[in-house]
Each structure stands twice: as structure tokens, then as C-alpha cells.
Amino acid sequence: MNPLYDIIAFDADDTLWHNEVLYTATEAKFKELLGKYQPAKIVERKLHQVEIRNLQYFGYGIKGFTFSMIETAIELTEGQIRGADIQRIIDYAREMLEADVQLFDHVEGTLAYLSQSFRLMLVTKGDLLDQEMKIARSGVGDYFSQVEVLSDKTRESYTGLLAKFDLQPARFMMVGNSLKSDILPVVELGGCAVYIPYENTWAHENDTASGGGYFELEHIGLLPEFIDGQRKMRTV
């Protein structure tokens, strides 16, 4: 039996690879597209309102974001926007879905090292097909014995995940960049959580204050040393 964790689980978007930058870049193109109708500030504010409103219907991910761009475009032009411009928005979606997956520094080495001693799991939220395609393109999929895509990451969904694989919270570690999605629900359940902040994390993700009880690392390359440190403390 492994001395510390049965599973070390990783968030993917903005923990293993860049994701938010794709949305930021697309949003910039979108603001330019609507520039002849509305100033960028108005477009930005409206888009974020529509995104929040649409989460319950369309969930997290590129497809939901794209519907929100289309609806924003229609609302801000009072229905006058033409199909050709809507097509450009859908083309943005296809470009996002096909974009290269850019791993952060140290990801491959960290996963290679930890997978020698631990079962690794990938736990993402968002769109199933999109996440599967990114994992396939990332080149690091083989380090994970399990990939779980959740529609949202809440205390309930982590409870379900732990039950599904018959895991004790105290033997489960979650590593991620979102306090709301990766860290706080796991801490509440009695798991171990390692927070690796990402500077561009989406505003909506960070609307929950930290309750403490988790660890924080500056980058993922520090994780092996951190876990080795935990191991030594336990065996002393």
C-alpha cells in the first residue's frame, strides 16, 4: 500500500495546460467584431452577464461560451447582426476546439515522477468531447489511470467521485488552480488539496473566499518535492 494517497487527482485547464488565454484571445476578437456596434467595455460586460445566465443551460466549456457570444452579439445589435458575422463566431469555436494544447513548464516531469508511486487521475469540468480531445492532444494522457469529466465541481460531485472509486477522503489529493472548484470542496470533505494559482483565472471562479486548510505552491514543478516532504514527515 502506498504510504500517503490512493489517488492524486489533477485539474486540467490552467493547471496542466493553458486554457483561459484561449478564451481571452477569442474575447478580444469578438470585441473587435462587435466594434462597429458597441465599445469593447460594453461588449465585455454584457458577455459576462450572458455567460453567467447561460451556465445552467449550456454549462462550462467552449460550446456554452460560443452560445453566449452569439446571444451577446444579437442583443447588443438588437437583432440586426448578420448571419455572416455569426458564422465568424462559430468559426472562433472551431479554432478554439482545434487549438494546440500548451502544457505549463514542469508538467510532464511532475507527472512522470509521481506516476511511478501513485495512481493519478484527471478531474476536469466542462464539455466531455472537448476535454477528451485536449487530453488526447496533450501527450500526457497515459500518466493517468482515470479521467473523469464532471459537469461541475462541487462538494456533491466530489462525494460522488470518491464513492465511485471507493476512496477515503484522507487518502485523496486534489491539485488545481481554482479555489472554488478544486480546493475548497475537497478540503470540506477532508481531502488534501494543493492550490497552484493561475494569474488569469476567470473572475467567476474566484468568488469564494478561502477557508484555509489547503496547501499552496507557486508552480506544479514544486509538487514532487512537496509530496516527498510529506512522506518523510509521516515516516519519521
Name the residues that contact a copy of itself, by CB under 8 A.
Answer: 57-59, 63-64, 66-67, 70-71, 73-74, 77, 79-84, 86-87, 90, 93-94, 97-98, 127-129, 132, 146, 149-151, 164
What pairing do the DSSP bridges indicate for beta strands 7-10 and 192-195?
A: unpaired
Q: Toward a copy of itself, which CB reaches closer, 30 or 104?
A: 30
| Comparison of 117 and 146: residue with beta carbon closer to a copy of itself | 146
Q: How far apart are CB 34 and a copy of itself at their closest, in Å?
A: 11
Smallest separation, CB 32 to a copy of itself (Å): 18
CA-based Rg of the chain, rounded to a whole angstrom? 19
Rounded least distance, CB 78 to a copy of itself, Å: 8
User: Measured on CA atoms in the order 77, 78, 84, 86, is the torsion positive or negative?
Assistant: positive
Q: What are phi and psi of 193, to 5 degrees?
A: -125, 135
Toward a copy of itself, which CB reaches closer, 123 or 196? 123
Give me the least distance between CB of 114 and a copy of itself, in Å please: 21
Q: Which of 161, 107, 96 is nearest to 130 (CA)?
A: 96
Laid out side by side, the sheet with 192-195 consists of 146-150, 119-125, 7-10, 172-176, 192-195, 215-216
Q: Tell me the HSE value of 68 on the side-chain side, using a 13 A CA sphere.
A: 26
Q: Of 72 and 110, which CB lies nearer to a copy of itself in the complex structure?
A: 72
Beta pairing partners, 103: 17
Nearer CB in complex with a copy of itself: 148/205: 148
Q: Which residue number, 50 or 196, has a Cβ lying nearer to a copy of itself?
A: 50
- We find the least distance from the C-beta atom of residue 57 to a copy of itself, in angstroms, to be 5
User: In angstroms, what CA-CA distances link 11 with 18, 111, 123, 138, 173?
Assistant: 12, 13, 5, 14, 11
